[in-house]
Every structure is written in C-alpha cells, then in structure tokens.
Amino acid sequence: MSTLSTLLAQTQWTDEERRYLLSLTKPEDVEALRARAFSVTTETMGPNVYLRGLIEISNLCTANCRYCGIRKSNHEVERYTLSQDQILACALEAHRLGYGSIAIQAGERRDEKWVRFIEDVLKAIHAATQDEAHPHGLGITLSLGEQTLEVYERWAAAAGNPEGLRYLLRIESSNPTLFNALHSTPGKYEKVLEHRYRALQDLRRAGYQVGTGVMIGLPNQTLDDLVHDLRTFETIDADMIGMGPYITSHGGDMVEEGMMAHDPLLQRTLNMIAVTRLVLTGANIAAATALETLEPGGRLKGITYGCNVVMPNITPQLTRTSYQLYDNKSGTEVGSEANRAIEAAINAIPGRQLGLFTLGSAKRWCARQG
Ligand code: 5AD
C-alpha cells in the first residue's frame, strides 16, 4: 500500500485503504488524517458550522431496539409528549437565535393520531416562522423513524419548505447479522435492514435531503463493517450523516455485551468521521451528542475531524432527563448557557465560524437539484 501522505492526497480509496485509514492510532498518523479531513471540509463546505436546534418531542416508542434506553419494554422511563405549543415555543426560540433549522426527534410511532399531530405541528411552525429573512420559514429535519411513503409525503407537504426539508434515519449498521442482533427480540425480528433501505429511497422520492448513519464501536462490529458502512453511505448517496460512538444503556438490553474502552472508541469514531468526509465530500456531517457524552468537548473534536453540523438540544429542561437513549447522555442537566458555550467554542476554532440565518443545505443535495 502507498504511504499515508500519498493515500491522503488521493480522491478515491480501495476498501483495503479505507480500512487502513480507519485503523490509524499513532498520534502523527491520526493528526495527518484529521488535517486532511479538515481541509477537505473547508474546500468543499466552507468555514460554516451549522446549528440545528434539536427538540426531543416525545419518548413514546413502539420499537424495542436493544441498544436504546427509550425502547418500548423499558418500563422505568417516564413517558412524555410535548404539546404543540411547547414545540412551537422551542422552534421560535431557535428561529430567534438564528438557527437556520430545527430537528424534531421522537420515538417511533405510526398511528394516525401521531401522523396528524406531526402534520399540525409542522404547519404551525411553518406559519409562525415565515418572515422577510426566511421567506420559506425555518428549515425542518425530521427524525421520526420508519414510515410509509404516503406519511413522508404528508409531512413534506405540511412542512411547506421544500428547500429546507430533511430526514434523519440511521441504518445503525450495514451488516445484516449485526443489524438483526441489535434489533431482534426473542422469536421475532421487529426490524429488517431492507425496510430501512426502502424507507431511505421513499424519503428521496418524497423530496427530503436524506440523512443516515451508524453507531461506532458496537459489540462484534469490525473495521470491515465500518468499511462496508462507508460503501453503503455512497450507495444511498446520503446528503447528511450522523454518527456517534455506541455507549451502553442501562435502559437497553445489551448491558452484558459491554462497550469499547474510551480511548480506542473515541479515536475510531473520529477516524470514521474523517474518512466519511474524504469519501462523501459534499455531505453535511453532524457531531453527535453521543460523542460529547463519551468525551467532554467531543463535538468540537468532531468539527476538527470534518463535521460541519452541531445539534444543540433545545428541548424544555423538564423532559430532557426522560430522553435517555444511553447512560449519562450529555446535555440533560444543563440549560441554554451550555448552548451559548458551544456556539462560542465553535467560533473559536481557527477556520470555523457559526453559519447562522441560513439553511445550510448539503452541497451534494444542491448539486443533485442542479
Ligand atoms: N449509544 C449510542 N447511540 C445510540 N442511539 C440509540 N441508542 C444509543 C446508544 N446506546 C442512537 C441511534 C439512533 C439515534 C437516535 O440515537 O443511532 O438512531
């Protein structure tokens, strides 16, 4: 194989080369990878880091994903759903702060009452956030799980802002055996990877900017799995990527399987972010809350490795502790001053600045739209 500096100057990589880049651990090697990913980000995406205000609108969930603390069979969680007025107040606050868009996330539900509730919320946000600076209103990212094409279309119509319409649906892992192990409940598979791929295609048809991603450091996950995940992101032609380290959740069903040790998990996550930036140059890549949970300041590290999106949590304080996807989730105990701190810290990264009052769409999506 070529030397590292030759590899980093390339624009295409074999699976073997990708695996090698992911495996780097020597300080000078990871620094070279980081520096290359950072400059590719600057060249393709510019200096802006975009903020998406994350609103965790409900922790009710019909799914039983084994890694997740708000899965249906965790009866220790107090369940909540925000009212339309509460959600609207969060959206208006994000709008006031100059966040170009918000991300609405919840557990997975498919009943008509829920579908209609989301429609109403989207219409209300659209009506309340249109002004001269935002003729199309606030951008909206939905993260509400697997739905039918018809539901995706209804929500797209209700959002009323085709330029700022996005959906995050992680595949969690592209290895079907691992995917099944993460989602199976005894005697039945409640989730199937093929359905997820279908949902991602449906989202594209319905006009969304499509986001996906995986967890890094899952029990039994290999570097080859991550290499395959990268190929899958390219096949999906993802506009947005959200990835973070897998962290044990005591509300989940995988406690006995453990998790990777802190240092190798942190480096593997950062390497995966950097290599994703090299292969999907024009994608928006988010620095996940799980990265901040693993390592205080982790999101800022993520930015230096190629992330260009941060999603500050703007959920009302009262319900935050009930949206515990994994143990010690970052940001559950802190208020808006923590968001001001991350905003200031982003501006302090040389070569980076906050991208405010703009949608900040993925370059890949803009190119596809012509
Ligand atoms: N560790 C890390 N990330 C998790 N998620 C859920 N549970 C965990 C966990 N234990 C992530 C999943 C999901 C997103 C909303 O949160 O990737 O798609």
Which of 67, 193, 311, 332 to mutate for ligand 1's pocket (most ligand atoms within 8 Å of CB)?
Answer: 67
What's the gap in Å between 30 CA and the centre of ligand 1? 25
CA distances from 111 to 53, 117, 148 (A): 26, 10, 11
Rg, Å, the chain Cα set: 19
* The ligand 1 atom nearest the CA atom of 247: 1
Per-residue pLDDT at 23 exceeds 90 = yes
What is the model's pTM?
A: 0.97
Q: Distance (Å, rounded) from C-alpha 312 to C-alpha 305?
A: 19
Q: Report the atom number in ligand 1 closest to the C-alpha of 245.
A: 2
**Whether the Cβ atoms of residue 48 and residue 308 lie closer than 8 Å to each other:** yes
Q: Residue 43 pLDDT more than 70?
A: yes
Model confidence at 258, pLDDT cuts 50, 70, 90, reads very high
Q: Count the alpha carbons within 13 Å of 339 in the hemisphere toward its beta carbon.
A: 19
Over the stretch 331-354, which tens digit does the pLDDT of each residue have? 776 667 888 899 999 999 999 999
Q: Are 170 and 126 in contact (CB under 8 A)?
A: no
Most ligand 1 atoms within 8 A of CB, residue of 77, 215, 249, 329 to mutate: 215
Is the CB–ligand 1 distance for residue 171 below 6 Å? no
Instruction: Report CA(96)–ligand 1 centroid distance (Å).
Output: 29
> Cα of 315 to ligand 1 centre, how many Å?
17
Do 338 and 94 form a contact (C-beta atoms < 8 A)?
A: no
* Residue 114 beta carbon below 6 angstroms from any ligand 1 atom: no
Tens-digit pLDDT profile for residues 259-277: 999 999 999 999 999 999 9
Could you tell me the two tokens for 172?
């969690």
Which of left, alpha, beta for 316 (phi over 0: left; psi -120 to 50: alpha)? beta
Nearest alpha carbon, ligand 1 atom 13: 170
Give the number of the atom of ligand 1 that is nearest the alpha carbon of residue 169.
Answer: 18
Lowest mean pLDDT among 32-41, 56-65, 331-340, 359-368: 331-340
Task: Work out the mean pLDDT of the chain and round it to a whole number.
Answer: 94
Once rounded to an integer, what is the mean pLDDT over residues 193-202?
A: 97
Percent of the chain topping pLDDT 90:
86
Ligand 1 contacts CB of residue 67 (under 6 A): yes
Instruction: Return the amino acid letter for 317.
Output: Q
Q: Predicted confidence band at 18 (pLDDT cuts at 50, 70, 90)?
A: very high
Query: Per-residue pLDDT for 111 more than 70?
Result: yes
Closest CA to 271 of 8, 86, 11, 55: 8
Tokens of 27: 């300080």
Q: What are phi and psi of 140, to 5 degrees?
A: -130, 130
Percent of the chain whose predicted confidence (pLDDT) is above 70? 98
The packing angle between helices 149-159 and 193-205, to 10°, is 40
Q: Is 326 in the pocket of ligand 1 (CB under 6 A)?
A: yes
Strand-pair partners of 215:
244
Structure tokens at 3: 């030397």
Distance of CA 28 from the midpoint of ligand 1 (Å)? 31
Which of the listed residues 168, 191, 256, 325 should we mutate to test ligand 1's pocket, taking the one with most ligand atoms within 8 A of CB?
325
What is the reported pLDDT for 338?
Answer: 82
**Ligand 1 test: best mutation among 326, 328, 329, most atoms within 8 Å of CB?**
326
How many helices (H) and strands (E) the chain has is answered by 15, 12
Phi, psi of 139 (to 5 degrees): -70, 150
| Residue for token pair 């590292």 | 4
Q: For residues 324-331, give the mean pLDDT.
A: 87
The rounded Å distance from CA 88 to ligand 1 centre is: 25
Quick count: other Cβ atoms within 10 Å of Cβ 1?
Answer: 9
Is residue 68 lining ligand 1, measured as CB closer than 6 Å? yes
Q: Is 323 in the pocket of ligand 1 (CB under 6 A)?
A: no
pLDDT, position 185: 67
Q: Is the pLDDT of residue 187 over 60?
A: no
Å from CA of 216 to ligand 1 middle: 10
- Residue 49 C-beta-side C-alpha neighbours within 13 Å: 30
Q: Categorize the per-residue pLDDT at 318 as very low, low, confident or very high, splitting at 50, 70 and 90.
A: confident
| Contact yes or no for 173/182 (Cβ under 8 A) | yes
**CA distance linking residue 322 with residue 329, whole number of Å:** 10
